[in-house]
Amino acid sequence: MTSKLRAFEHIILNIPETSELKGSLRDAINQTDIRVEDKRRLHMHINQCNTINDLQRLFYNALLKYEGILRRSTTSYTRVFG
Tens digits of residue pLDDT in 46-81: 999 999 999 999 988 888 887 776 544 444 444 444
For the chain, the average pLDDT equals 81
Helix axes 18-31, 36-48, angle to 10 degrees: 180
pTM: 0.73
The conformation of residue 70, written as its DSSP 8-state character, comes to S
Is residue 73 within 8 Å of residue 79, measured between CB atoms? no
Structural domain range at position 65:
4-81
**Based on the structure, what is the number of domains in the chain?**
1
As to burial, measured by CB atoms within 10 angstroms (0-12 exposed, 13-18 middle, 19+ buried), residue 11 is: middle
